[in-house]
Each structure stands twice: as structure tokens, then as C-alpha cells.
Copies of this chain bind each other. A is one copy, B any other.
Amino acid sequence: MQAKTAFSIIKLTVISFIASALIACGPEKQSEAAGDTAVQKTYSWKMVTSWPKNFPGLGTAPERFSKMVDDMSAGRLKVKVYGAGELVPALQVFDAVSQGTAEMGHSGAYYWKGKTPAAQFFTTVPFGLTAQEMNGWIYHGGGLELWQELYAPFNLIPLAGGNTGVQMAGWFNKEINSVEDLEGLKMRIPGLGGEVLKRAGGTPVTLPGGELFTSLQTGTIDATEWVGPYNDLAFGLYKAAKYYYYPGWHEPGSMMELTVNKPAFESLPKDLQVIVTTAAKAINADMLAEYTARNNAALTELVEKHGVDLRALPTDVLNKLRDLSKEVVAEVAAQDPASQKVYDSYIKYRDSVVKYHAISEQAFINARDEKKAPL
């Protein structure tokens, strides 16, 4: 557990590393619209996040949430967004909201697996659900209720707060032509994905965030995963790695979380409560739309302007990783009764939706593709 948590810290530390470059881009939108409905009680909330303010996708979503809530409440509920490290460090978002230091947080549930292992199912699972499928489970498959039950002992109400879609497999300086090439591969990869790589003979590596770029250049690590083109272009990893591999088998639809301190939520009148939960639904969808619309332009720039060598992971490598993922995910379920309960719901839903999508989303996407025999 310690090692895996460390990987997560690295990912977030690296994000913090570029915060300084981006933080100047974050206008203080909350101060624009002064509340003028003096007859009703107003609320001034803080939202701590695990991202730099206005970081593309991850950081723009909480700003949009704040703006929507401000507008819908006519200024009665102000939510001031803090970037990682501004009020609390990136990985203290859960604790800060749990303790009421901040009323809300925007982060990723898999960072809290040290608190409750089942949290990992509420971000992403290797070879698990896509974004669309995840939303089905959360909103109409019992997922949200299980998640709220899981977080209740921590004084937290979780809400879906965005999705990156399918990520990339990552940046590599070593070609992956067979399963054997994973042996000894030193790669920075967090959570369940890192555990899967380890079982394939690879070495998940822990590194201070600031050393990531240099470590790729000097060969201290052979590879690192990140998010996808829209985020990766800004981060500049193409300058330190030869190959950009797909698909992101380890994070096929990473859902972000909004957390609300329970007493704070309950202190709101009902209209403001529903404003909070509805704005969460809106940004959950909006972030995915943003990544969907932006990724290709970024990928094109990476390939055409920066000469990135885009490659597919070989079939036998993906097959091996898929087999190992099943073992790793099933072992999470065995960690505690809460994990078993969430796993059972997740797997039952997953089997069902994957079966249907074989004849709908998957069949259609392949039928649309002129280069592929569809069915």
C-alpha cells in the first residue's frame, strides 16, 4: 500500500510542479459577482483541489462549478476554488473536507485507497468501465449510493465531478514489442495499473515529481504514464520520450470526485443543496466533453509538430495485462467487506454493460471504421 500511495503522490506532485506556471492564468472569478439578495442567508465556501488552478480539464471543471453555483444561487453560495498547495497539499483534500477545513474538494477517489480501499473503484479500474459506462453505474446502477455509503463515516458526501475519457498508455523510451519487454521496465504508473505492471515483471518506480522529466531523459525510468494529449502536450514530456503508446488500458475513464463536508451540505437550504448536486452533474459531463473535443488537436500537434512516434501496444501485451488486471482487481475486493460489496456491484454492472456495448457502442464504432472489419 505504501508504495502505491507514493506513486499517486508523485503524479500529484508533478502536477503541482507545473502549478507555478499556470497559477497566474487563474482569474479569481468568485470575486466578480457580489451577492445582492440580502434578504436570504449567504454562504462562503472553500473548495480545495488536487490540481493547479485552471489546469486544462481537471482544473477548469471546479472553476465552472463555482461559476454555475454562484449564478444559480444569485450569489447566495460562493465557492472559492483553491489550487493544490494553496490551502492544503494536493493529497490532503480528503482530510480537509472531512474535517471541515474546507466545505468542498475536487480530486480523485483512488488517492484515498489508504483510507478505504474500495475508493479505487470510483476513479477507474484497469480494463474497467469507460466514461459513459461509469456514468450509467453511478447514476442508474447503484454506484453513487455505494460511494456515499462508503464515505459517510468520513463525514463526506461524494459526487461525480468530471471524467478524462480513455487515457494514453504513456511515454516510453523503450519499445514494447512483446510481453518480455515489460520485464524490468522501470515505469512511473500509479495505483492498480502499477500493481498490474509489477506482476508482468515490470518495476513501478517512485520519484520526486520534479525529477520526472530528467529521469526520462537520463534513463532513470524507461517510461511514465500521464493523462492524454490535451494534458500531455502542455506538460512537454514529448521532449524526453521517444514513443507515445496507446490505449490507456490502466485508466479507461478516470472519474474525478467532488466531495462535500456533510454538516456543511446539511446546513444549506434545499434549493442550494440541489444547486450543488446539479452543478456537479453538469461539470461531470462537461469535463468529458472538453477532453473529447480537445484531445485530437493536441495529438496532431504532438505528432506533426513535435515528431512524436505514436504506437499501439501489441495484442499479446494487452492480453497479458488484461489477465493480470483481473487478479489485481479481485484482490482489492478481498481487502475488506466494503470493497467486496463495491466490487460485486461494479463487476455485475460491468459484465452487463460490456455485453450490451459489444452490439451497440463497440459494434457501431467498428462499423464506422472503414479500415476495420466491423463485426
Contacts and interface: CB of A to CB of B under 8 A. Distances in A.
Interface string A16-34: 0000000000000000000
Interface string A123-148: 00001001111011111110000000
Contacts of A1: none
Interface string A334-370: 0000000000000001001111111111111111111
Interface string A222-236: 000000110000000
Contacts of A355: 296
Interface string A147-168: 0000000000000000001111
Contacts of A314: 375
A271 B69 CA distance: 9
Interface on chain A toward B: helix, strand, loop, or mixed SS? helix
A132 B130 CA distance: 11
Contacts of A365: 130, 357, 361-362, 365
A8 to B, nearest CB: 22
A299 B364 contact: no
Nearest to A371: B358
In this complex, the member of A167, A248, A297 whose beta carbon has the largest number of chain B beta carbons within 10 angstroms is A248
Contacts of A357: 365
Chain multiplicity (copies): 2
A74 interface: yes
Contact of A247 (B284, B297, B313, B364): B364
Contacts of A138: 289
Nearest to A285: B285
A310 B228 contact: no
A369 B127 CA distance: 9
A274 interface: yes
Interface in A278-312: 278-279, 281-282, 284-286, 288-297, 299-300, 310, 312
B318 A374 contact: yes
A249 B361 CA distance: 10
A274 B68 contact: yes
Given A71-B270, A278-B279, A252 B368 contact: yes
Contact of A373 (B297, B313, B315, B361): B315
Given A295-B360, A365-B365, 19 more contacts: A74-B269, A74-B271, A130-B364, A132-B288, A136-B293, A165-B361, A166-B360, A166-B361, A246-B359, A246-B363, A252-B368, A281-B285, A282-B285, A315-B374, A318-B367, A322-B368, A354-B368, A362-B369, A366-B366
* Across the A-B interface, the 9 shortest Cβ-Cβ residue pairs: A136-B292, A140-B293, A285-B285, A296-B356, A136-B293, A247-B363, A71-B274, A281-B282, A74-B271
